[in-house]
Structure 1
């Protein structure tokens, strides 16, 4: 076998990273749905954080939070889908994009943590999965070989 070519299929480490990205993507699908379903709880949180807001301003803030959450998480969902599909190609740019996007998502999780307790149980789990994806595409020898330039 020529050692300068990539294996035909992704190694188990990359397959595991892809599976974790599917789970992370599902989280990005569920979060806006939960925000929309629990908009009353979101309004209560906004009212507690901003006692000077009137009912209309609280409602607008909650609506804006749900809409911006849907757009933001929708984009991250699409990115996860792209990465799940493209990581299997072994192209180095897919590993770099995966790394940057997942590390930024961990950072964004800190923002979500500080803005609302609604997802405190989920944020650490998602962060561990995202960090595991990064480790899986960079650390194990099969992953390194798979993404090595020709």
Structure 2
């Protein structure tokens, strides 16, 4: 059993293996983002209050709660998708490559919204975005990756 697992792992091209590792790292970034949002509510409340001075304290607190909840759900979904695709890419099924591609491209697009709405994560958004685009390039550009997924279809 162990030798078949080893044999299968060696047949996965390096580009696909690298994409899987990056997806795991991106998943961790989604987890950390959700945790930081939950822990640093006061910073989020301060940002909302400074951007909307007309809001009462209760409205600011409610807006922060909504933002934290929405962020947790959003990043939780992306965390699950990253982990699923990182795991399933080894199967060489084309749907896994398409799901990884679509989810990473959409995540980069959504990062623009995060960037414009709050400076809280400005330090990490470019690095994570670059990693997400690299995942897409690793899954589609190298001939070894294209052949890996073509064999399965």
Q: Which has the higher contact order (CA 8 A, sep 6+)?
A: 1
Q: 1:120 aligns with which of 116, 119, 122?
A: 122
SS of equivalent residue, structure 1 residue 148: helix
Equivalent residues in 2 for 1:1-150, closer than 5 Å: 8=8, 9-149=11-151, 150=153
Gaps of 5+ in 1: 1-6
Query: TM-score when scaled to structure 1?
Result: 0.93
Gaps of 5+ in 2: 1-6
Alpha-carbon offset, residue 36 of structure 1: 1.2
The 4+ residue runs of structure 1 with deviation greater than 3 A are: none
Deviations 1:27-59 (A, max 9, x none): 110001111111111001000110100000000
Alpha-carbon offset, residue 92 of structure 1: 1.0
Structure with bigger helix share is 2
Query: How many residue pairs align between the two structures?
Result: 144
Query: TM-score when scaled to structure 2?
Result: 0.91
